Structure 1
Amino acid sequence: MTQESRVVFIGVSIVQGYVAHSAEVSLRQRFKAKRAVELTHERTESILNTLMPVMVVEDLRDISLSQGFPSHHYRHATIAQSDLCGFTKLASTRRPEEVVEFIGELFGLFDQLTDKYEVYKVETVGDAYIAGQAEAPLTHKNSPMSVVRFGLDMVQETNKWSRRKGEQVSCRVGVHSGECIGGIVGTEMQRYHLFGKLMTEVEVLESTAPEGRVQVSQACKDAVDKQMRLEGLSKSLAMFEERSEETLRTSKGEEHSYDEVGGRTFVVRSYAHYQP
């Protein structure tokens, strides 16, 4: 091979190597860009699924913006609302960072329970946690028994957390069944909310529940009894104790009549052995 041929060969090799390197760099950049888009999409989906029911998110993909956001009438919803007893007093003696950490830990435990019982986390208001089930598209599963168990487990997890931390915090829960409306509200910070008399009444059930207990309405008890009959379960699995007081009272002494929540209420004494 002549000197001139060697120079040409080396030049061609260098050019080919440069082209191959450029192609490799371009391929990697395209892969990184594609992966970044995929991760962004996954994060967006994850955020959407925490702000709205999964089936509602799926429905949104099939409609145009000109159609507006869908709303839903739920005829058989069961909603639980909890409140942390003693947390306000605890918060007044701690640094803001500690308060945020504590509420984050407790609500993190409740979030795990929503996955366990397949309930939809509606919202949190201060130290109140609201979640429940209904027919599609709110949740795939609609089991009043599961929502009551969810409430019992919130009480239990709070007690465990308190013992672990050496704090005096407990949880009370109200559970109610009935009709409500669901829909997306907001323009910039959109969220799927539930509205109606049911949501007002479950707040009364929560605020008048005994500390460390779960209080259910007559409608919720009826829904549980119906589910047990349909599933052939023994009534001994769910034991409700009717409240004997003349009126319902909050921890602040505010009085409510039983008529405000659709009749007499019950405290859940036991829910042993049933596994949803």
Structure 2
Amino acid sequence: AAVLYLDLCNYTELSSKMEVMQLAMLVHSVFSRFDSAVQTRQLFKMDTIGDAYVCACWVDGESEREVCQRMVALASDMIDIVEQAGLDFHVPLACRIGIAMGSCLAGTVGLLQPRYQLMGEAVEEAHRLESTARQQGINISDEVGRVLR
């Protein structure tokens, strides 16, 4: 699968400066716009974890390039969405994004309020790449870069 992991920057700082309802409206607005972009790009939203957003797309050898192109296009859309939301809410908002491709397993986890989750090397690598990206930046794995060349 190709996996995109996004984290909003300065979320803790924003949460200490904004009223709770305003912060909830900001996150809802941003994530709703992300949801629309994910659908437009025909990808799959996996999860939101606090201020993080994860999506994926399963690939086979024939679709690797096309899926990676859609993921990078989505990442660009997301950066624009975050920038616009910052302007709309008058707050300094930015994000970091990591995109990786590799093996994953998806399925329902737990019995009480079970959740469909994605786990595996691509998720971990996308998360690592996100954590080292600059604000409003996108880091891609070597494998994604190879496919896009």
User: Do they superpose with TM above 0.5?
Assistant: yes
Matched, 1:207 2:121: no
Matched, 1:152 2:67: no
CA distance in 2, matches of 1:224, 1:162: 31
Letter in 2 for 1:190: P
Superposed displacement of residue 179, structure 1? 1.0
Q: Is the 8 A contact 1:79 1:175 kept in 2?
A: yes
- Any idea what the Cα deviations from partners look like across 1:151-180, whole Å, max 9, x if unmatched? 111111100111222210111100001111
Structure-2 residue corresponding to 1:121: 45
Give the RMSD, CA atoms, in angstroms.
1.5
Letter in 1 for 2:124: T
Judged with a 3 Å threshold, the aligned counterparts in structure 2 of structure 1 residues 165 and 98 are, in CA distance, closer, same or farther, namely: closer
The two structures have a TM-score, normalised by structure 1, of 0.50
Aligned residues: 144
Q: Which runs of 5+ in 2 are unaligned?
A: 61-65
| Large movers: runs of 4+ above 2 Å | none
Matched, 1:194 2:123: no
The two structures have a TM-score, normalised by structure 2, of 0.90
Q: Is the 8 A contact 1:183 1:192 kept in 2?
A: yes
CA distance in 2, matches of 1:184, 1:166: 38
Letter in 2 for 1:173: I
Structure-1 residue corresponding to 2:11: 87
Q: Which runs of 5+ in 1 are unaligned?
A: 1-76, 137-141, 226-276
CA distance in 1, matches of 2:25, 2:139: 28
Structure-2 residue corresponding to 1:179: 103
What are the residue-to-residue correspondences of 1:229-248 with 2, within 5 Å? none
Larger relative contact order (C-alpha < 8 A, sep ≥ 6)? 2
3-state DSSP of counterpart to 2:95: strand
- Any idea what the Cα deviations from partners look like across 1:67-88, whole Å, max 9, x if unmatched? xxxxxxxxxx111011111222
- Any idea what the Cα deviations from partners look like across 1:170-203, whole Å, max 9, x if unmatched? 1110000111111121223222211112211111
* Percent identity of equivalent pairs: 26
CA distance in 2, matches of 1:98, 1:184: 32
Matched, 1:96 2:56: no
Matched, 1:108 2:32: yes
